[in-house]
A and B are shown apart, each in its own frame.
Chain A
């Protein structure tokens, strides 16, 4: 079955860039997504990328997709304390079901 892997934890200083990485195994993925979860809350969609694209930029967020290596990354420029949260990547398969990674906890130090 599909498998999505993320590192557990990332710590950065306010104003630095954050890069959160994700690897997946399903080569038939259609779309890949990044969600943000703040403490005790649901998941909020941040951005997504179609599987035939290499990059997508949306304000402070940049998504890079290396389809050959099945590697997805989310870069947050000028990271702020409000960006502290858990970030989940998810892949959508051919049947449009989502498989989520375990989440990366981003801590932003002032």
Chain B
């Protein structure tokens, strides 16, 4: 089955700790995205990557870091600098931003809570 897999489904972070959320896709998509969703709110873009070994900051990148060493993988690290990390994190992928109809497909999400 083709799709986007996020893991873990639930994650707990202790104060001062960095945690990494995994996102893997087997859709052969060039572009990948990370969004943050807070209760009752829409999605805010954290980081995105259009191609391997390249990524750009979104609207709320502070306190987060990413890497794109492989086409199928785009892990997100929530660093200790992110003072309010509790949220639902969604990863998405698309064929690429050079394509006019840039449909984004989403994973099932990771819910991060602070202990």
Contact = CB atoms under 8 A, between A and B. Distances in A.
B108 interface: yes
Main secondary structure of the interface of B (DSSP, over half): loop
Interface in B50-92: 90, 92
B108 A42 contact: yes
B114 interface: no
A30 B100 contact: yes
Contacts of A24: none
Contact of A96 (B40, B97, B107): B97
A97 B46 CA distance: 12
Given A42-B90, A95-B97, A97-B97, A102 B40 contact: yes
Contacts of A28: none
B41 A102 contact: yes
Given A101-B42, A102-B40, A102-B42, A43 B106 contact: yes
Given A42-B108, A48-B103, A96-B97, 15 more contacts: A4-B42, A30-B100, A31-B100, A31-B101, A40-B111, A41-B108, A42-B109, A43-B43, A43-B106, A45-B105, A92-B102, A96-B99, A96-B100, A102-B42, A103-B40
